[in-house]
Amino acid sequence: MTKITIHRTVLMTGEGVLTLENDGDEILSTKSWEHAGNLIPPKTYTGCSKTTMANSGRPGIYLPDEQTGKTGIFIHAGTSQSNSKGCICIQPDQMQKLLANVPSQNGAITVVVTNPAK
């Protein structure tokens, strides 16, 4: 099973840590960013897929609209919160590594988003 976990560390800045696991083995751990004013709900998203973003032509990991409650939420390359309008961003070199280590089958990825402990 392929699982991507985004653990939000600072809600006010949209910062977090993205971790990729394949069959329980950690493959990648890197800083992530989201737009702090437009966060998706913290929960488990199933049926996520590696794809190309229609609006930009860039590769990304799609989180299903019916689960996020928003339209067009992806994990994609970016360097700060300003690169997100509601998506999750990671450094471009880390995005390449992520994409190289996730399956191409539709719906084969689970994404878990968590908030900081209170």
On the question of pLDDT at 54 being above 90, the answer is: no
Full-model pTM:
0.95
pLDDT in tens, 58-71: 999 999 999 999 99
The one-letter amino acid at 114: T
Between CA 16 and CA 76 the distance in angstroms is 14
**Is residue 89 predicted with pLDDT exceeding 90?**
yes
Q: How confident is the model at residue 82 (pLDDT cuts 50, 70, 90)?
A: confident
Domains defined along the chain, listed by start: 2-114 (2.40.440.10)
Residues in Cβ contact with 3 at an 8 Å cutoff, skipping those fewer than 6 apart = 20, 21, 109, 110, 111, 112
